């Protein structure tokens, strides 16, 4: 098919749109609050159960007294992690690395706060029997800042606990962002596909009108007023029906044939003694879905290159079959061997049909054309057989 400048520009525009990255949005990287808060509670509850269970298994004395203290520390951990979650929710750098760095950095002060609460609970508010002895040993080793040393020591151990949750949160957010980007990319692809379908559909009408107006001009010059009037009325009916449909619409095969009958009525006014139409469609395929007006360029070519140059009766045959889950439609027209060969066409009409099928269905559909076994010309198109959604 010979491509025009407009066709190339449309393809380039679609390619640029599909290649461009969708707009980045910070909200895409946010995690569902239920998931975030649930993960915080689950993490700390798991810590509480594991630490309490290990203490009971080791047989440490007075462990039931530590359950309440550990519960207070766990609540403090949940609150600190929740503050970390709110910070990460508000701060969303664009790159994944920067986002992870912010999460790791934001965890540092919250770990220090948690370690301070841990110190207060176990060493000041609810000390155990041997706590005073532990404090004396620490004061002897670090007489000036034993509390600071204890906070920093426990912060190092607890930092990895907070860091794991922060990294998990960032990973969840990144997964959400990738899903959002994929949804928008798919939306752009769908829009580009629909735009292409519309462009291909609207490309048919000027092509069809040009040929029809030429035929109407011929009838007027010949003085065939009745035939010209009939053609104008048929043209009006056809345009009213064809322009009212959505280019992306699927219609039942029998409805597509009805639309083509309107077009054939126009051509019947031109060739009342030469055009013979034969339609063979099994009843079970009448409701098969096809793109609207997909047959119009094919039948138009059959009239232009088969019927118009001939001197005798020319048959245009349309058949439909089902083969291996595909709907196969064949349009064949006779060729008068005595008629002068018409000027070769541009391939716009048949190329349009092939492009529409490939755009909508991909490699599962196609269109081929060439000389038939009986010397005529045949066009075959195939597409997935479906009876729902049209």
Q: What is the pLDDT along the chain (390 residues), one digit of tens a residue?
A: 333 334 445 444 444 444 444 455 656 667 888 988 999 999 999 988 888 887 777 766 566 667 888 888 999 999 999 999 988 888 777 777 888 888 899 899 999 999 999 888 888 887 777 777 777 777 777 777 788 888 888 888 889 889 989 988 888 888 888 887 777 766 656 655 555 555 445 455 565 677 678 778 877 888 878 878 877 887 787 777 766 666 667 889 998 998 888 888 877 777 778 888 899 999 999 999 998 888 988 888 888 888 878 878 888 999 999 998 999 999 999 888 777 766 665 566 788 788 888 878 888 999 999 888 888 899 999 999 998 767
pLDDT recorded at residue 252:
92
Residues 282 and 364 in one domain: yes
Residues 128 and 235 in one domain: no
Q: Whole-angstrom Cα distance, residue 366 to residue 384?
A: 10
Give the domain extent around 38.
23-187
Any idea which residue has 């810590």 for tokens? 47
Q: Whole-angstrom Cα distance, residue 321 to residue 382?
A: 10
Burial of 23 (0-12, 13-18, 19+ CB in 10 A): exposed
Number of domains into which the chain is organized: 2
Does residue 201 sit within a domain?
Answer: no
Does residue 80 sit within a domain?
Answer: yes
> CATH number, domain at 270?
3.30.565.10
Residues 39 and 181 in one domain: yes
Among 138, 171, 187, the domain boundary falls at 187
Residues 57 and 109 in one domain: yes
Among 168, 187, 206, the domain boundary falls at 187
Residues 243 and 346 in one domain: yes
Buried b (16+ CB within 10 A) or exposed e, 159-170: bebbbebbeebb
Among 135, 158, 187, the domain boundary falls at 187
* Neighbouring residues of 150: CB distance < 8 A, sequence distance ≥ 6: 119, 123, 138
Residues 67 and 128 in one domain: yes
Residues 30 and 175 in one domain: yes
Measured between alpha carbons, how far apart are the two ends of the chain, in Å? 29
Does residue 31 sit within a domain?
Answer: yes
Residues 125 and 58 in one domain: yes
Any idea which residue has 């970390």 for tokens? 84
pLDDT recorded at residue 29:
67
């Amino acid at each position: 098919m010979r491509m025009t400048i407009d066709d190339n520009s449309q393809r380039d525009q679609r390619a640029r749109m599909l290649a461009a990255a969708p707009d980045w949005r910070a909200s895409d990287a946010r995690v569902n609050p239920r998931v975030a808060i649930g993960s915080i509670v689950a993490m700390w509850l798991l810590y509480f159960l594991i630490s309490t269970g290990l203490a009971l298994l080791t047989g440490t004395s007075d462990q039931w007294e530590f359950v309440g203290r550990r519960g207070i520390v766990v609540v403090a951990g949940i609150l600190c992690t929740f503050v970390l979650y709110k910070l990460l929710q508000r701060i969303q750098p664009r790159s994944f690395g920067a986002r992870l760095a912010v999460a790791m950095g934001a965890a540092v002060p919250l770990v220090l706060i948690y370690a301070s609460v841990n110190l207060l609970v176990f060493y000041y508010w609810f000390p155990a029997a041997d706590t005073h002895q532990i404090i004396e040993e620490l004061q002897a080793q670090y007489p000036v800042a034993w509390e600071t040393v204890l906070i920093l020591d426990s912060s190092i151990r607890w930092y990895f606990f907070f860091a794991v949750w922060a990294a998990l949160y960032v990973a969840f957010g990144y997964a959400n962002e990738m899903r959002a980007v994929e949804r928008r990319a798919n939306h752009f692809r769908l829009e580009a596909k629909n735009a292409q379908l519309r462009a291909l559909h609207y490309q048919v009408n000027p092509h069809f009108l040009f040929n029809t107006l030429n035929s109407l001009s011929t009838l007027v010059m010949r003085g065939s007023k009745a035939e010209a009037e009939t053609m104008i009325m048929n043209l009006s009916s056809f345009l009213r029906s064809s322009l009212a449909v959505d280019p992306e619409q699927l219609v039942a095969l029998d409805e597509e044939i009805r639309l083509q009958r309107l077009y054939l009525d126009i051509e019947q006014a031109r060739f009342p003694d030469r055009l013979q139409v034969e339609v063979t469609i099994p009843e079970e395929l009448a409701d098969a879905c096809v793109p609207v007006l997909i047959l119009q360029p094919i039948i138009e070519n059959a009239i232009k290159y088969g019927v118009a140059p001939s001197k005798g009766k020319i048959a245009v045959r349309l058949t439909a079959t089902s083969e291996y889950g595909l709907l196969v439609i064949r349009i064949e027209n006779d060729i008068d061997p005595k008629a002068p060969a018409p000027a070769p066409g541009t391939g716009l009409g048949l190329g349009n049909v092939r492009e529409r099928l490939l755009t909508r269905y991909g490699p599962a559909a196609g269109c081929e054309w060439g000389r038939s076994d009986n010397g005529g010309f045949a066009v075959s198109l195939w597409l997935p057989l479906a009876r729902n959604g049209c």
